[in-house]
Structure 1
Amino acid sequence: MKKVVVVDYGSGNLRSVSKALEAVAGSDASVAVSSDPAAVRAADRIVLPGQGAMADCMHHLLDSGLADVVRDALVNKPVFAVCIGLQMLFEESEEGDAKGFGFFRGRVIRFPASAMRTADGSRLKVPEMGWNRVYQTQPHPVWAGVENGAWFYLVHSYFAAPEDMSIVAGMTSYGLPYTSAVARDNIFATQFHPEKSAADGLKLYANFIHWNP
């Protein structure tokens, strides 16, 4: 049985994420939420959630003593990062001049005010909050069974701008096209919240549990 650990560093929608994973795990995996570095290190795969501001999330992660364990997991086991979890994989964010893990080259930037208009000229609100389509830009086992252009739930004012576009796994449009999912090797990450995205979100988590990168 696979051990799936949701990393608890004091920031993230832990209950919803763990309940979503439990709903699809069946007898194939056990799901735990843990702030214990030893438990995270012993996991077969981890989920790195996050909500709020990237600077706060990185601060909590460093203070928790989990940063090094997460950094190790990013190179040696399947990782699913969600929302701010995705943003922390990059070098830095405009939000509070926060430094991330730098695992991917690129910055996290705010939706530019100049682009926040619909086709008819109406103003788009920031943060983006609600359902939007995600268009898959590369095949990936975690996308299996999820329709291209499926709807997922997002709440964010900032998004990742990767330097290496080959890692982009999904794109969404909100005033402008932006990266809403990235993938490389053992990492799959989404700006949207699978745990709030009904059947398609659950499918992503189920695929992650069975994924063997």
Structure 2
Amino acid sequence: MSKIAIFDYGAGNIFSIKVALERLCVDVEVIRSMDNLDVYKALILPGVGNFDPAMKSIMPYKDRLLEAIGSGMPMLGICLGMEMLFERSEEGTLPGLSILAGEVVMLPRSVKIPHMGWNRLRINANSSNSVLLNGIDDGTWVYFVHSYHARPKDARVVSARSEYGVEFPAVIEYGNLFGTQFHPEKSGSDGMHMLSNFLNYLKR
């Protein structure tokens, strides 16, 4: 398998996702430019940070990123990395990548924010062909650290949901695009299984 790129836009968990992938015997490289995306098998947008600073880092490469995704490059967005796929976020004023229709909104103020800890996945009944969730049981516990969540316009992109004050998408899948609101690299053996599922997808 060729190298997988992790784009560094100032996120705080690059080391943990890199180590998790290396445990799965993957050649991983942290990149700060997307000028040479064609040399990588897949791209990961990691998941800790603020929306506007992350978008400022990624916007110079937006056209190149859209071109790569349009040509079939698999991409996994984790937490903020998934949120940036949408059109806008209440966390900032800059537009998102607008690859997926919808917005990102704050969790309800009736619960403690940020949502930090373990919650169950509720896998959609129509997700039998899910790539990330292959071999994952409904009700599996995964680890979240977030204050915002996606609100897609097309519910069909949602493979699993979770609940914290409100029900929200936990797994997004659309063609060669994959996203998790939780952190698979912090979700124990089940999270590693999902990362392994993503890697197996790259072999197709």
Report the TM-score when normalising by structure 1: 0.87
Which one of 44, 55, 61 corresponds to residue 58 of structure 2?
61
The 8 Å contact of residues 9 and 66 in structure 1, kept in 2 or not, is answered as no
Structure with greater helix share of residues: 1
Q: Which residue of 1 aligns with 2:149?
A: 159
The 8 Å contact of residues 89 and 102 in structure 1, kept in 2 or not, is answered as yes
Change (3 A) 1:104 1:68: same
**How far has the Cα of 1:12 moved from its partner?**
4.2
Give the gaps of 5 or more residues in structure 2: none
The 8 Å contact of residues 86 and 97 in structure 2, kept in 1 or not, is answered as yes
Q: Which residue of 2 aligns with 1:190?
A: 180
Q: What is the distance in 2 between the residues matched to 1:68 and 1:17? A: 25
**How far has the Cα of 1:51 moved from its partner?**
1.5
**How far has the Cα of 1:66 moved from its partner?**
3.3
**How far has the Cα of 1:99 moved from its partner?**
1.0
**How far has the Cα of 1:147 moved from its partner?**
1.5
Deviates more, 1:95-104 or 1:66-75: 66-75
Q: Which residue of 2 aligns with 1:120?
A: none
Change (3 A) 1:10 1:22: same
Q: What is the distance in 2 between the residues matched to 1:183 and 1:192? A: 14
Q: Which residue of 1 aligns with 2:5?
A: 5
The 8 Å contact of residues 181 and 188 in structure 1, kept in 2 or not, is answered as yes
Which one of 160, 167, 173 corresponds to residue 170 of structure 1?
160
CA offsets, 1:139-158, max 9 Å, x none? Answer: 31221122212111111111
Which one of 112, 128, 140 corresponds to residue 125 of structure 1?
112
Q: Which residue of 1 aligns with 2:32?
A: 35
Q: Which residue of 2 aligns with 1:199?
A: 189
Q: What is the distance in 2 between the residues matched to 1:57 and 1:144? A: 30
Which one of 43, 46, 53 corresponds to residue 46 of structure 1?
43
Change (3 A) 1:44 1:98: same
Structure with greater strand share of residues: 1
Matched positions, count? 199
Residue 142 of structure 1: SS of its match in structure 2?
coil
The 8 Å contact of residues 17 and 185 in structure 2, kept in 1 or not, is answered as yes
**How far has the Cα of 1:69 moved from its partner?**
2.9
Q: What is the distance in 2 between the residues matched to 1:166 and 1:39? A: 32
The 8 Å contact of residues 41 and 69 in structure 1, kept in 2 or not, is answered as no
Q: Which has the higher Rg, Structure 1 or Structure 2?
A: 1
CA offsets, 1:115-137, max 9 Å, x none? Answer: x2xxxxxxx30111111111122
Q: Which residue of 2 aligns with 1:19?
A: 19
RMSD: 1.6
**How far has the Cα of 1:33 moved from its partner?**
1.4
**How far has the Cα of 1:48 moved from its partner?**
1.1
